Structure 1
Amino acid sequence: MRHAPYALVALAASLPAQAEARDRSLDISPGTVAESAIAIARQTGTSIVVSDPAIARRRAPRIRGRMSASEAVRRLADSVGARAIAIDNSSWRLEPQLRRTARSARAAGTPASQPRPAASQPPPPAPAAEIVVVASKRDTTLEDLPAQVSIVDGKELALGGIGGTEKITQRIATVSSTYLGSGRNKLFIRGIADSSFTGPTQATVGQYLDDMRLSYNAPDPDLRLSDLERVEVLEGPQGTLYGAGSLGGIIRLVPNSPELDRQEFRASAGGALTQHGAGSADASATANVPLAAERAALRITLDAVSEGGYIDKPVLGSENVNRTRILAGRAIARLELAPQWTLDAIGLAQSTHASDSQYAAREGDRYESAAQVREGSDADYLHGQLVLAGRIGPLKLRSTTGIARQELEERYDATMPDAEDRIFIQRNDTRMLTHETRVWLPLDERRFGWLAGVSLIDNRTQLNRSLERGRERSAATGVLNTITEATLYGEGSYRLRDNLIATVGARLTYARLGGSAEDVPLALTIERAAVTASRDQSAILPSASLLASLSPVTSLYARYQEGFRPGGLAIEGEFVRRFCEDHARTLEFGARHGRAGIDTFDLALNLSYTRWSDIQADFIDDLGLPSTANIGDGRVWTISASGGAFLTDDLRLTGGATLNRSRIDEPVTLSFSRITHVPNIAEFSGRLGLEYSRHLGSGLDLDGRVWASYIGKSRLGIGPELGDLQGDYLDSGLLVRVSNDRIGGTLSITNLADSEGNRFALGTPFAVVREQVTPLRPRTIRIGVDFTF
């Protein structure tokens, strides 16, 4: 594998005899022989070597059904005119077919496809499963990665209809979110949470599509998770690799790439009924079209969703007001410039319209809001990037240049008691230009591997606010934040011993910050000039780790990492003032055993301790508006665990849990109150699930999922106005799918117990005395169908 990309495709189980003997329900997507061999090896826990690059590049059809590993390998070999040579009970080698075909050899009763290996060429030892973590930025395998990472397969995310970020939070216990609404939420990982609102502060979680971040200091755009290879969640801080805004970690969406020599069309559609609410509908389609004599291809995905509302507003005489409509599209064009060199152009657009808010009053009917006006939001997201990737000998290069724009308009009920109806409108317009080029030498079987990169970001965020009474609209103070950031970073890993890897890295960032106040009263213009003057900041973010492999599937690691967020300008009352950068330093210890979905048992454990200085967070100012400040220094302890076990060959138990303890131990005083806790993070969250897969015969397969998750208690925010409790609820779901190679039917139910819960104790910051809650979507039943051509 070190010298040629197709020389070796190998994955092996720790118990090869058991892996070979056990039949499994396999679903191997069409692709190259190399891709199919990796998929078979991962799903069966075996080793497959492809010795000929020409065979590795051949196209293989879908392999699906209940079978042994040897049968799957034989089918793969037969489908491409190759022969499978057994190395041992769990290892095979694919080689060019001899003159006499495998079919004629079988007819003659001779074992032409499985001769004994030559004595002069002993079989190589079978290595452990190689799951490459893309988020490592240098093709690091999971076994060699000294960090806590969660991987969710794209097919798993597509079950039950295309969804958004909630499908990640449902599956990974360490990822949490606020619940203002689609396109407005903030995400948190590993107990690193700052506030409930979307203001000028940069997010604590970096979100990426391939190598390009989705936004700099804007909310989660809640992109549709359609046609993805997988989603990777890398817990933070990840300052060395990803820089500012990765204190909690990063979420990376890895889309399926265009295929140069295969035409494909997939589509799905579904309808749903929500108890206590209105109906929903969704549709998705993906097409892969080869172009230019298999030197180019285009892959297009379209999504449309209409989620029925379930909140009533009796004052307005309206029911089910919070319907949300989402339209999204993504296109990827790939051109093969030369062998092992490609150029990708990626374009993405999504529009989200929420007709009204999704919060309710704590007292009274659990799905009724006391708001007197129509609220809601509109979120539009545009994203484009150009990616050049290739290799020069053993070195790999990847260069990404992109642009993103995110526009969000939010409307809040700002009516005061016994006063005229009033709406507060906030508009957030973010534009970002970014570039990154990196070169790396994969560690592979070498003693030393390294990574070096450069990154440039130019981001501009304008926040405008106004109050509307009837037909009158008056501007409120707004703010413009700009930042230009240049970064050099590098990382190197050295094998001290065959089972011991040391890694060190550093990132040097220089940032120039600027901005201005918007719509400020004339009397304050002189004072604001000094506040909004441009200024420079710099940061050095070191990292170090040590990983010890106790066996091919068991490892221990220790890691030190830092992260930061630059400062900015915030609004307080009618004034604009500065807040400074914050900084996180984390020491963590972890252990991993087994490979999820392959080994009989797998488990990942992690303990982390974070010192967080000058924490940036939001609070309610004297005018009742959200503002931002540095609230003090704190510490966060987190223990997380995830794993699974095969109860039978067809039934797997999965689970995960996280325990967080946080405290601000050097708090400052804001609005006459002392702040002592980090908001929005539950002390305990956990999840349990069962996965069932079985071949029914006659080309039919059955897949089933059932899960339940518990979200513990947390506090909404900081200060007495935002001290409300939230959380302490149980969510659950069920899914059943019956399918063959072409068509599948799905039945899914979410919120099985029809729990109310309180996901988020805020709807509008102007009415906290109303004791607001954001209930779970009531029990929803969906029926869907999907096609593949």
Structure 2
Amino acid sequence: MRKWKEALCVSSVALATSVAGPAAAQERVLLIDVPAGTLEAMLAALATQTKTSFALDAPLPRHRVIALRGRMTIDAAYARLLAGTGLSARRVGPATFRISAAPAAPNAGPTAASADPTVSSDIIVTARKMRELLSQVPGPVTVHVLDGSAAAGSDAGTSAVATQVQGLIATNGGPGASRLFLRGIADSPFIGFGQSPVSVYLNEARITYDAPDPDFRMVDVDRVEVLKGPQGPLYGTGARGGVYRVMTIAPDLVRFAGRSRQRLAALLGHGVGGSVEAVVNLPVRQNQTALRLVGYADVAPGWIDNAGGRSDVNQTVVRGARASLRVLPREGWTFDFVGAGQSIRARDSQYVDRDREELTRGDRLREPRSNDVVLTSGVLQGELGSRVLTVSTSLATQWTLKVDDASSAAAVLGLVAPLRYAETRTYQVFDQEIRLANKSGRTPWALGVSYLSSRSSARGRASEAGPVVAELLDASRSVTETAMFAEGSRPLIDGLRLGLGLRVFRSTVKEDRDDDGGTEVRAKTSWGVSPSATLSWSPSSVSLAYLRVASAFRPGGLDPSNMETRRYDADQLVAFEAGFRQNSINGRLQFELGAFSSLWSDVQSDYLLDTGLVATRNAGDARILGGELTVRWRPTAAWSFVAGASGQRARLIRGIDGADLERDPRLPVVPGVSGHFEVRHSINASSWQVSPTVTGRYVGRSRLSLDPGLDRRMGGFAEFAAGLEVRRGPFAVELSATNIFNARGDTLAFGNPFSVRTERQYTPARPRAFAISLSRDF
């Protein structure tokens, strides 16, 4: 037993010798970032990060612990990690700790399952391409940590995260068929060839340019970082609404570990589904090379019935895998390689053509959908003195298939019903960036160069009773962007800081479109500049106020409905933002308040042609006003409350060439008000941990589209959910109930582009569902 305890020293004494000395080791303040996990795994990660070692004089509890993040001394990090475990760490050498049982407190009762919340735990974010504490970022950044979150697992994707992040909207077009919008910057729910307002990333790899959100599942994910508002200086064209960045858990170089989870779900009166997922961490060479493997599969039951006799037609199957390799070639340098793939197959669409209270639609042809994505990326990062060099390269390819019943448009297309329309698309994004950033100091900065190449193609075919009878669409689009960028800040006076950012880019767009309007090829090259400026004031270590102005640009393209130029122009967004963050001294209460005003000129909007195909045009100029509030409160170690609310007014203020505006010039999909809350209770009684959770959200009224004939109302509903996690040692059982009151909200007033003009369409929220899962850490 004694040999086992001593063998569990996961960081060698050789590492400890790299610490300068006793005083330096004890007094250094470091940025600590240890993902949630078992106590054993987290101690190993902490020892690796701080270059310390430890020995055990007592067995470690097997329960999971919340993530440890923030700026602190090494002694404070060990103390915070062991809080509430019955153990304490004592320094016995310059970089060596001995962990033993802490003196028992008299009359000790149940304790919280997590560390004492009276000590503020900050989060390290890298969304601005520098390592920063969230509390010190002078801009609208939200970090959703998936520790015990209902938005985690193979059954949870972007839509689950959107319910927890104020201002983030995911149109419910179906798995892998949604668009993302932030802070009211929404152009259309239809997926045409317009560039997406929100850029989607997996770690350092860009996934989308003009593709729909691939809906990566939240398996083995540490956190999601959301940058709100235009991010042109750092992320280039397209990031007008912001950036959605999924950060996975990196391989552990020290410890073999893993996790498995099985889940069973049921929709009352409808189908039954389930999911499995597994994670394995394999140290290949201790402290130098590790491999992390992730695999998952999810079968989501359907709930839409077809009047022709088919029931629960929209069953969806998701499969995915990811491999991450981390290598430390030398001290201070890291190479990360990630290969990931995911496949989504939906048997049918998920809309109805009757009242939204109904879950049955008229008899029609089957409308399957699919979305496949494959990603490879490599990131080399290392220290050059006080600077950090990052070189990243990635290639993402996405394939989509969408089949629609086009019988109602057969006469317009000159064909005969019943008619089936199948559209396949291929998207490819190659992204490369080299940047340099300073690690510390009073003037943080990052600068670099980047190259992006995006290629997309679409082909649409109509068939009557089997063979293809008409080629309705054959289009391709390629975009390249070469850029130089820089962003940094410096103090003006005590507490007051000025930040500036600039991106200079060259963008080339080439399009080839062959549809019922004829064949046309166009190419255009443009130069541009995207600046930003921030003024921040930090009156104390627990508060921050900021003012920010930023811009972003999106290139133009082909518009077959424009008889004069056959093109749509580039659009540009300028946003003015103000925000305030405040933490209480003891860290129990945190709130964030933000306000924004955006001017959007020559808004590009995807719209439906009379044939049912999608094209892009300029809709006019828009103004967006809004505000957000998020509050986090932990009154005790056992209770936590999170609530958020937002309100926005997104309107067109003038049409193209002085054209008259619609009576209701609201931008599509944007709800006027929305909000969410979460209440969690966590207790640890003896060897058992019990954590009940209650969540709720409200989605306000919105409209479908700027198209005159598609001014459809949607939204205006509330949903509630509850969950219970029971954990003992490495085992955990989770029970959950979603949409408890079976709300029938219309999440998207659209489903079929060929019949939407002649009938009302609704996408009802998923009915009440129950699930049970069993997981095990090893």
**3-state SS of the aligned residue for 2:682?**
strand
Q: CA deviation at 1:619?
A: 1.9
Question: What pairs with 1:638-717 in structure 2 (closer than 5 Å)?
Answer: 638-668=626-656, 674=662, 676-697=665-686, 699-717=687-705
**3-state SS of the aligned residue for 2:675?**
strand
Aligned partners of 2:436 and 2:61: how far apart in 1? 35
Alignment partner, residue 249 of structure 1:
242
Aligned partners of 1:339 and 1:650: how far apart in 2? 41
Q: Would you say the 8 A contact 1:2–1:394 is kept in 2?
A: no
Closer/same/farther in 2, CA of residues 722 and 94 from structure 1, 3 Å limit: farther
Alignment partner, residue 218 of structure 1:
211
**3-state SS of the aligned residue for 1:512?**
strand
Residue type matched to 1:53 in 2?
K
Alignment partner, residue 22 of structure 1:
none
Closer/same/farther in 2, CA of residues 64 and 37 from structure 1, 3 Å limit: farther
Aligned partners of 1:196 and 1:104: how far apart in 2? 58
Q: Would you say the 8 A contact 1:11–1:127 is kept in 2?
A: no
Q: Would you say the 8 A contact 1:29–1:63 is kept in 2?
A: yes
Alignment partner, residue 14 of structure 2:
none
Closer/same/farther in 2, CA of residues 295 and 339 from structure 1, 3 Å limit: same
Q: Would you say the 8 A contact 2:90–2:99 is kept in 1?
A: no
Residue type matched to 1:154 in 2?
L
Alignment partner, residue 84 of structure 1:
90
**3-state SS of the aligned residue for 1:416?**
helix
Alignment partner, residue 615 of structure 1:
603
Q: Would you say the 8 A contact 1:479–1:569 is kept in 2?
A: no
Q: CA deviation at 1:741?
A: 2.8
Alignment partner, residue 259 of structure 1:
252
Alignment partner, residue 427 of structure 1:
424
Residue type matched to 1:308 in 2?
P
Alignment partner, residue 331 of structure 2:
339
CA deviation profile, 1:219-262 (whole Å, cap 9, x unmatched): 00001111011111111111111111111111111111111111
Aligned partners of 2:326 and 2:597: how far apart in 1? 43
Q: CA deviation at 1:622?
A: 2.9
Aligned partners of 1:561 and 1:77: how far apart in 2? 42
Aligned partners of 2:571 and 2:19: how far apart in 1? 41
Q: CA deviation at 1:54?
A: 3.2
Aligned partners of 2:404 and 2:553: how far apart in 1? 31
Within the alignment, does 1:8 sit opposite 2:3 as a pair? no
Q: CA deviation at 1:172?
A: 1.2
Cα-Cα RMSD: 3.5
Residue type matched to 1:620 in 2?
L
TM-score of the pair, normalised by structure 2 = 0.86
Alignment partner, residue 394 of structure 2:
402
**3-state SS of the aligned residue for 1:156?**
coil
Alignment partner, residue 54 of structure 1:
52
Q: CA deviation at 1:29?
A: 4.2
Task: Name which of structure 1's ranges 657-666 and 147-156 shifts more when overlaid on structure 2.
Answer: 147-156
Question: What pairs with 1:228-243 in structure 2 (closer than 5 Å)?
Answer: 228-243=221-236
Alignment partner, residue 625 of structure 2:
637
Structure 2, unaligned runs of 5 or more: 1-17, 67-74, 105-117
Q: CA deviation at 1:631?
A: 0.6
Q: Would you say the 8 A contact 1:28–1:36 is kept in 2?
A: no
Alignment partner, residue 732 of structure 2:
744
Closer/same/farther in 2, CA of residues 573 and 423 from structure 1, 3 Å limit: farther
CA deviation profile, 1:167-192 (whole Å, cap 9, x unmatched): 21111121111111111100111111
Within the alignment, does 1:137 sit opposite 2:138 as a pair? no
Within the alignment, does 1:73 sit opposite 2:79 as a pair? yes
Alignment partner, residue 457 of structure 1:
452
Within the alignment, does 1:502 sit opposite 2:502 as a pair? no
Closer/same/farther in 2, CA of residues 572 and 96 from structure 1, 3 Å limit: same
Q: Would you say the 8 A contact 2:253–2:285 is kept in 1?
A: no
Closer/same/farther in 2, CA of residues 591 and 74 from structure 1, 3 Å limit: closer
Q: 1:753 aligns with which of 714, 737, 741?
A: 741
Q: 1:538 aligns with which of 522, 527, 548?
A: 527
Q: CA deviation at 1:450?
A: 1.4
Q: Would you say the 8 A contact 1:158–1:225 is kept in 2?
A: no
Within the alignment, does 1:468 sit opposite 2:466 as a pair? no
**3-state SS of the aligned residue for 1:73?**
helix
Percent identity, aligned pairs only, is 28
Q: Would you say the 8 A contact 1:63–1:75 is kept in 2?
A: no
Residue type matched to 2:503 in 1?
R
Q: CA deviation at 1:515?
A: 2.0
Q: Would you say the 8 A contact 1:160–1:748 is kept in 2?
A: no
Residue type matched to 2:522 in 1?
A
Q: Would you say the 8 A contact 1:541–1:562 is kept in 2?
A: yes
Aligned partners of 1:771 and 1:370: how far apart in 2? 12
Aligned partners of 1:538 and 1:737: how far apart in 2? 54
**3-state SS of the aligned residue for 1:773?**
coil
Q: Would you say the 8 A contact 1:671–1:719 is kept in 2?
A: no
**3-state SS of the aligned residue for 2:709?**
helix
TM-score of the pair, normalised by structure 1 = 0.85
Q: CA deviation at 1:721?
A: 2.3
Structure 1, unaligned runs of 5 or more: 13-25, 39-49, 86-92, 108-125
Count of residues in Structure 1 that have an aligned counterpart in Structure 2? 723
**3-state SS of the aligned residue for 1:350?**
strand
**3-state SS of the aligned residue for 2:53?**
helix
Residue type matched to 1:213 in 2?
R
**3-state SS of the aligned residue for 1:617?**
strand
Q: 2:480 aligns with which of 481, 484, 495?
A: 484
Q: Would you say the 8 A contact 2:62–2:729 is kept in 1?
A: no
Q: CA deviation at 1:472?
A: 3.4
Task: Name which of structure 1's ranges 181-190 and 496-505 shifts more when overlaid on structure 2.
Answer: 496-505
Alignment partner, residue 184 of structure 1:
177
Aligned partners of 1:541 and 1:70: how far apart in 2? 42
Aligned partners of 1:58 and 1:246: how far apart in 2? 49
Aligned partners of 1:712 and 1:158: how far apart in 2? 22
Q: CA deviation at 1:644?
A: 1.9
Q: CA deviation at 1:10?
A: 5.8
